Structures are given as structure tokens and as C-alpha cells.
Amino acid sequence: MPLVAYSDSESEAEQDALPPAKRPKRSANCRSPPESLPPLPQAFLDLYATNARQSTHDDPALHGGRKRAIPHMDGHWPSHVYLECKLQSRTLQSLLSAVERALALYFHTSASNDATGVPQLQTVHSSLLTPLSTPAPLHVSLSRTLPLPTDSRAPFLDALATNLRRSSTRPFDARFDGLKWVPNFDRSRWFLVLGMRRPPNDELNRLLLAANQAAKRFGYPELYAEDQQHGEGVDMTGGWGAPTATEDHKADEEDAKGFVNKKDDRSNTFHVSLAWSLEPPPAELRELSGVEEISYLMKQDVSQMSVRFDVVKVKVGNAIHALDIAPKRKEEKGILGLA
């Protein structure tokens, strides 16, 4: 006599024997999730582009021994007009490493110039990386530090935006050439700077003129003014080893291309700072084009780099404002509503 088959056991066995249910197919309208998140907008990144304030008074110990060029004044906002550069950090790091090797070799082989018999050294502080070792944005200055009063912040930005529109400048690409050490106005710091070639339509000079006109309107000195270049420690006329502005462009073509006049030409002053030092470099190494390794890197790598500029940035206190070089025009639509 067969054993009694319990109904609950049979139902479990039947369920185990059933094939697994197939997943419903996705419709064509159902999209898969994106593989990566979209990049953050630049305006969001600008919110976190400045470091938190560490002290309520100037303390050089918090900044590697650097001293503020313009003392802080209550009710005023230190402001700066500039172009932000995002460059190939590996190429620049290789260039900076070559400079450090050249300095180390010089101090190792040079005669002692210290009473104690120990050769003087130069400590180089890189500007290429943030404290978190991420690539730091570099910049091309278009103004000196401007201590704007609270009530002048918005009017200054409006005046600068108006001047940019009147300059008729369009977004442009720029290239680099020349490497040297230059001091600040009181020779308390030295900067390793990378020179910039004059763009085809003289955009750098035109932007500088727009920023200087805004600064002058509010009673501030102009950057790279004709009678102040030596005092600011940035007079690099003829020192880049690159063709001069007059060699790059014929004089009779300047007016047609919207070039600034010779009085306002500052083509030999535009630069990007790669590093700084409190000690002066050896006189033999202030012009670095004669160092073989550096000359090779400049010709093979740096000369191939370019940077695109489409906005002028203004840092007012810790807030960063982006002004379009050429304000975007509203798209015109045709009869059928199509662009």
C-alpha cells in the first residue's frame, strides 16, 4: 500500500519544478541610467574656489612668509580682475621640476657666497597644486588688487561689463612662450612666470584696457601703466625670446584688426605665475631660456599648449563673478519659430 502523499508537500514540489519567471522586457522608451554624473557647472565651482579665512589680521606665518601687499581695510573688499587658466598640469609640473633641478645644480656647483661657507639656497613654492594636491587654476592678471568699498562693488562690476562690451572682444585662444623669474614691486617675492604670445586680434591688450578704464574711473592705479611697469616688477619688454608684437603683426594692419595703439600696448607683460620664492634666484638663472632641458620642454611641449578664454573673472572678497567676454545674443527665430 503506497504511502499517503500529503497535499502540502506536493504543492511545494510542484513549485520547485516550475521554471523561473521571465522578467518583462523593457520598452524602447525606458532608458538605462547614465554611466556617470554630469559635470558641475562652473558657477558652482567658483563658490568653492577660495580658501577659508584663517585669521582676522595679516599673519605671514599662515601664508609661507608672504606679506599682504595692500593692508586690509575695514569696509573694503580686496578685488582682482583676471582670466582663469586651466592648463596641462603634467607639462607644467615637468617644467617646474626642470627649474628646480637647474637651481639645485647651480647651488651645488657654485662658489660659496655666504660668510659661513654654505651656499645660499632658494626655496621654490609651487602654484600648480592646491593643498589637496589637485590641479590649481592659474590666472592672467588684468588688474592690481583693488580695495573696493562696499557701495562700489556693484557699480564697478557694471562699469567693467560695459567696458568689455565696448571692447568688441570675442572668445579667443592664447599660447605661451618664454620663462623667467621676476620680482614684485618691492622685491620681497620672486615669481616664476610663463609668458604669453600676443593673440591674433590683440585680445589681451583690449581686455586689459577695459579693466584699466574701470579701475581708473574708481580712482585706482592701472595695471602695467606706462610709468609704473618697473615699479611693479613686471617689465619684461624684450625678455621672452619670442617674436615681438611688431614682428608678429605689421603696423599697417593694426587699425584694421582693432589693435590698441602703441601707448597702450602691454604685450610683453602678460604672464602666468607657476611658482614663487622669498629668496631671489641667481642672476645666471633669472632668464631660463639658456638651460638645455628647459629649452627643450618649452619647444616640444609648452609651445603646443593653448588655453581658451571666454569669460573675465572678478574676485571681490571671497565671491567670484564671471563676466562673458562677448555677451551671449538671444537666438533669432524665423517665421516658423525655428532658429
pLDDT in tens, 191-232: 999 999 999 999 999 999 999 999 999 999 999 887 665 545
pLDDT above 60: residue 7 = no
Pairing verdict, β 190-196 and 76-85: unpaired
Taking residues 151-169, report their average pLDDT.
Answer: 96
pLDDT tens track for 73-111:
788 999 999 999 988 889 999 999 999 999 999 988 876
Q: What is the mean pLDDT of residues 323-334?
A: 66
Tell me the pLDDT tens digit for each residue of 246-265.
Answer: 444 444 444 445 678 888 89
Under a CB-based contact definition with an 8 Å cutoff, are residues 288 and 102 in contact?
Answer: yes
DSSP-H helix ranges across 79-227? 89-109, 153-166, 203-217
Going by pLDDT thresholds of 50, 70 and 90, the confidence category of residue 44 is: low
Per DSSP bridges, beta strands 271-277 and 125-126 are antiparallel
Please list the helix, strand and coil fractions of the chain in percent, rounded to the nearest 5, in that order.
30, 20, 50
**DSSP code for 254:** T
pLDDT of 24 > 70? The answer is: no
pTM of this prediction? Answer: 0.73
pLDDT value at position 225? 82
pLDDT at 188 over 90: no
Q: Is residue 64's pLDDT more than 60?
A: no
Q: Is the pLDDT of residue 63 over 50?
A: no
In the CATH hierarchy, which top-level class contains the domain 71-324? alpha beta
**pLDDT tens sequence across 119-154:** 568 899 999 998 888 899 899 999 999 999 999 999
CB-facing half-sphere around the CA of 199: CA atoms within 13 A: 23
Is 312 a residue whose pLDDT tops 90? yes
Question: From CA 241, how far away is CA 280, in angstroms rounded?
Answer: 22
pLDDT for 185: 78
Q: Which three cell numbers stand for residue 62?
A: 599662515
**What's the pLDDT at 331?**
47
Q: How far apart are CA 210 and CA 164, in angstroms?
A: 6
pLDDT at residue 251, as a whole number: 45
Largest distance between two CA atoms of the chain = 120
Return the top range by mean pLDDT from 40-44, 50-54, 220-224.
220-224
CA pair distance 222, 61, nearest whole angstrom? 30
Q: How far is CA 314 from CA 71, 190, 230, in A?
A: 19, 24, 25
Tens-place pLDDT, residues 260-309: 888 889 998 999 999 999 999 999 999 898 899 999 999 999 999 999 99
The pLDDT value recorded for residue 249 is 47
Percent of the chain predicted with pLDDT > 70: 62
Share of the chain above pLDDT 90, in %: 48
pLDDT of 132 reads 86
What are the boundaries of each domain within the chain? 71-324
Q: What is the pLDDT of residue 261?
A: 86
User: Which one-letter DSSP state was computed for residue 180?
Assistant: E
> Which residues are catalytic, by number?
139, 271
Between the alpha carbon of residue 40 and those of residues 45, 193, 316, the distances in Å are 7, 30, 22
Cβ neighbors of 112 (< 8 A, separation 6 or more) are: 118, 119
